Every structure is written in structure tokens, then in C-alpha cells.
């Protein structure tokens, strides 16, 4: 293992078909006023809203509702939520939805009592909050981001064409999370498989980096193998409880900070994908899908040993006389075949990206230094060109 680290994750998880039965009792640990935030209203169609309201009623809460959280939450929506939370002096923010809704809730929790401009302080200067923070809890309805057990908050500034993720500390991790795999059954196929790839991308960002083979890498390999197996089942039968429950649990462990310990990490697929999303408003998991193969083929020569291990350990590709380069290439080919099998978008043109947008998207891309190669602007443009 590389270096020294501290691992702490304070989120309490309730997992399984009966998980929702714990919500009312958990809510009693917080003050009387709850800000209930959710997306476009699907939770009212599938019954999750009614179950949530009943739990809030049982706990004796005053409920302030904040619907309409979009898949790529905007800065304007963040400011709306912060103003509402501050006006009602809420004691808890309860996010019911997928990663975007939970990310949004964490952003509101940090912004409601912020004395400056949250965008400037948190998303541009990457400062940590010094103000009062509002506790967050969540009921998860779509898997992918791992937001139920981390402190990430991704916000889109539509005026600047920027989509930025701020990683808050454990003080903004959800205090509790309700995880019932059946709550994910009603997610449309497109969004479901986009979430599957978001999970894979989170693991790859942490696995395809660093030179030492450590415990975190072995855990990552097991998570990827589980995801590939269960996603193939779920893509054909979305109501397979065993597959969906395994995927939900994998998503949580993919980004609860565990497998990043003792490693450098990359995150350039996310940086390019988020920039693409800022310009197109495309589904996050799909932007990662169209960027990943061009990116990994671009950097593979600089981390060829790990890519070869990826081929062997995740895709069961035997060396059989292959060179290390050929083995590494075979691993990415196997991933491409899996991506096509489960129904992911493979070309950025299908997400609205046009050739004349590539420079602007590259301009919006944050360059990080944790991967096998530090990209130049020209590298990003070339990767985007291959994504088309």
C-alpha cells in the first residue's frame, strides 16, 4: 500500500426489501422541519413518495417540498434550494431519488448558510465549508453515483458551460441511506444502463492508476466482475432482484472512498465527460461511456502493465502467447463488447456533440494529474474526436 491514510465513513445504510421500514425511526433523530427534495415526479407514480410522506408523518415532521431536481442540477436550482432551506431553517434535507438528487441535496446543505457565493467558494476555489451544515439523508431510487455514501456534489453552471464536482468531507456524507433494490425497478432502461456504466467508470478511475498492486486493486477487480455478471442479467431482466441488489451494493462500494485508499487516482474520464455534459446536458453515465474507450486507448501505452492485468483479472483473457500490449488491447475490446451488449451509447455524436464543439468542450475540461499521462488540450481534443 502506498503512503498513509485515514478511512472513515459515517453513513448508516439500511439495505433490502424492508429498508424503508426504518425511515420513520431514523427521522426521529433530527429536528422538526425536513426539506424533501426529489426529481421530476416519478416517485409519485411508483409509490415511493407516498411511503416517504407516511414515514415523515409518523415521525411528526413539518415537510417543506422542493421538487424538480434535474438530472444535471444547475447552479440556479442550487440557489433556489439554499434559499428555501434557509427560509424555513430546516433541520434535515431528505433526498429521494438517484445520484443527482442526492448530490444536489449535499450542495444545498453546504450552501444554505454559506456567507459567500457557493459556486465561487466550493466549485471554483474548491474550498471547504466553514458555515453551518444541514444534515442529509436519502432514499435511493437509482444506482450509479454512490452518492448515498459519499460527499460528492456535481453542479452545472449553464452560463459558463461548466459542470463541476466538489468533493465535500465526511461531515456532508448522508447520515443515513435507505437502499431497497426494488425501488430501482421502474428506472427506464436507458437510465439504468447509464448507471451501470457510471459504476464501472468509478472503479476504473481508481483502478487504472498507480503502479503497485495493492489490496484496493483486488477489491476493485472483484467489484468489476460482480458488476459485469449482474449487469448482463439485469439488462435482459430488469426485475431480477438478485442482480439489481448486487448492482446496488456494488455501486455503493465503488465510490464510498474505500478503494481509493493507498492509491493515486485518475478521474480524467469524468472530467471530460462532465465537460461534455455541460455543453450537451447529456446523461452523465452515457458521456462516460463514449469517452472511456478513446481515453483508455490513448493512455494505455503509459500504464500497459495494469491494462494487461485488467484483461486477465476482470475479463478472464488468458495470455496465450500474447504480448503485454496485445493482452491490454484485448481487455479493452472485451469491455467494448460488454458495453454494446448491455445497450450503452458508444458515440458522442449520438449525445449531441458536433465536430465544431470539440475545442470548447476541451476548454471546459479540468486537467488532473493522477493518471498515467497528464493530458494536453490537444490530447483532449483528439480523445473527443475519436469519441464521435
pLDDT at 213: 81
Note whether 247 and 160 are same-domain residues: no
pLDDT at 206: 97
Provide the percentage of residues in the chain whose pLDDT is more than 90.
Answer: 95
- Residue 99 pLDDT greater than 90, yes or no: yes
pLDDT at 258: 94
pLDDT at 170: 93
pLDDT at 288: 98
| Domain final residue pick, 121, 155, 183 | 183
Residues 224 and 335: their CA atoms lie apart, in Å, by 11
Q: Coil, strand or helix: which one is 104?
A: helix
- Residue 380 pLDDT greater than 60, yes or no: yes
Note whether 19 and 156 are same-domain residues: yes
Determine, yes or no, domain membership for 5: no
Please state the length of the chain.
388
Mean of pLDDT over the chain: 96
- Tell me how many domains the chain contains: 2
Q: What is the pLDDT of residues 281-319, one digit of tens each?
A: 999 999 999 999 999 999 999 999 999 999 999 999 999
Determine, yes or no, domain membership for 81: yes
pLDDT at 211: 80
Note whether 155 and 193 are same-domain residues: no
Domain that holds residue 372: 189-387
Note whether 179 and 196 are same-domain residues: no
Q: Name all contacts of 383-387 with Cβ < 8 Å and 24+ positions apart.
A: 383/272, 383/291, 383/294, 383/295, 383/298, 384/272, 384/276, 384/291, 384/294, 384/348, 384/353, 384/358, 385/355, 385/358, 386/294, 386/297, 386/298, 387/290, 387/291, 387/294, 387/347, 387/348, 387/353
- Residue 1 pLDDT greater than 60, yes or no: no
pLDDT at 86: 98
Note whether 151 and 290 are same-domain residues: no
Note whether 134 and 229 are same-domain residues: no
Determine, yes or no, domain membership for 86: yes
Per-residue pLDDT, averaged over 362-374, amounts to 97
Per-residue pLDDT, averaged over 97-110, amounts to 96
Determine, yes or no, domain membership for 162: yes
Note whether 214 and 244 are same-domain residues: yes
Note whether 262 and 133 are same-domain residues: no
CATH at residue 149 = 3.40.50.1970
pLDDT at 4: 85
pLDDT band at 24 (very low <50, low <70, confident <90, very high): very high
- Residue 2 pLDDT greater than 90, yes or no: no
Determine, yes or no, domain membership for 21: yes
Q: What is the pLDDT of residues 226-247, one digit of tens each?
A: 999 999 999 999 999 999 999 9
Determine, yes or no, domain membership for 35: yes
Determine, yes or no, domain membership for 1: no
Alpha carbon 365 to chain centroid distance?
Answer: 18
| Domain final residue pick, 151, 166, 183 | 183
Note whether 237 and 282 are same-domain residues: yes
| Domain final residue pick, 149, 164, 183 | 183
pLDDT at 176: 98
- Does the global pTM surpass 0.85? yes
Amino acid at each position: 500500500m502506498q503512503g498513509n491514510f485515514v478511512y472513515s465513513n459515517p453513513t448508516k445504510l439500511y439495505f433490502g426489501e424492508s429498508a424503508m421500514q426504518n425511515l420513520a425511526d431514523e427521522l426521529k433523530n433530527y429536528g422538526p422541519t425536513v426539506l424533501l427534495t426529489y426529481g421530476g415526479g416519478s416517485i409519485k407514480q411508483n409509490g415511493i413518495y407516498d411511503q416517504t410522506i407516511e414515514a415523515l408523518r409518523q415521525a411528526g415532521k413539518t415537510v417543506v417540498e422542493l421538487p424538480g431536481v434535474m438530472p444535471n442540477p444547475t447552479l440556479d436550482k442550487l440557489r433556489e434550494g439554499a434559499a428555501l432551506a434557509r427560509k424555513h431553517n430546516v433541520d434535515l434535507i431528505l433526498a429521494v431519488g438517484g445520484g443527482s438528487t442526492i448530490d444536489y441535496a449535499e450542495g444545498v446543505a453546504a450552501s444554505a448558510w454559506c456567507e459567500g457565493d457557493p459556486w465561487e467558494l466550493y466549485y471554483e476555489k474548491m474550498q471547504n465549508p466553514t458555515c453551518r451544515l444541514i444534515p442529509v439523508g436519502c432514499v435511493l431510487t437509482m444506482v450509479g453515483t454512490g452518492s448515498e455514501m459519499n460527499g460528492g456534489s456535481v453542479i452545472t453552471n449553464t452560463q459558463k458551460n461548466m459542470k463541476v464536482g466538489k468533493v465535500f468531507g465526511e461531515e456532508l456524507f448522508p447520515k443515513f441511506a435507505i437502499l431497497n433494490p426494488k425501488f430501482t425497478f421502474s428506472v427506464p432502461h436507458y437510465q439504468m444502463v447509464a448507471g451501470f456504466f457510471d459504476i464501472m467508470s468509478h472503479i476504473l478511475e481508481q483502478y487504472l492508476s498507480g503502479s503497485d498492486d495493492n489490496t484496493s486493486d483486488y477489491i476493485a477487480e472483484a467489484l468489476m466482475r460482480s458488476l459485469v455478471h449482474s449487469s448482463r442479467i439485469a439488462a435482459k431482466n430488469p426485475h431480477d432482484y438478485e442482480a439489481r441488489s448486487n448492482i446496488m451494493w456494488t455501486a455503493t462500494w465503488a465510490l464510498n472512498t474505500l478503494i481509493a485508499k493507498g492509491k493515486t487516482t485518475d478521474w480524467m474520464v469524468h472530467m471530460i465527460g462532465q465537460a461534455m455534459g455541460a455543453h450537451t446536458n447529456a446523461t452523465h453515465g452515457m458521456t462516460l461511456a463514449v469517452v472511456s474507450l478513446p481515453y483508455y486507448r490513448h493512455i494505455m501505452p503509459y500504464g500497459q502493465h495494469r491494462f494487461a492485468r485488467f484483461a486477465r483479472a476482470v475479463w478472464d483473457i488468458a495470455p496465450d502467447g500474447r504480448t503485454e500490449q496485445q493482452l491490454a488491447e484485448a481487455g479493452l475490446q472485451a469491455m467494448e463488447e460488454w458495453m454494446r451488449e448491455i445497450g450503452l451509447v458508444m458515440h458522442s455524436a449520438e449525445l449531441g456533440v458536433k465536430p465544431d464543439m470539440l475545442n470548447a468542450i476541451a476548454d471546459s475540461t479540468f486537467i488532473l494529474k493522477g493518471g498515467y499521462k497528464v493530458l494536453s488540450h490537444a490530447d483532449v481534443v483528439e480523445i473527443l474526436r475519436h469519441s464521435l
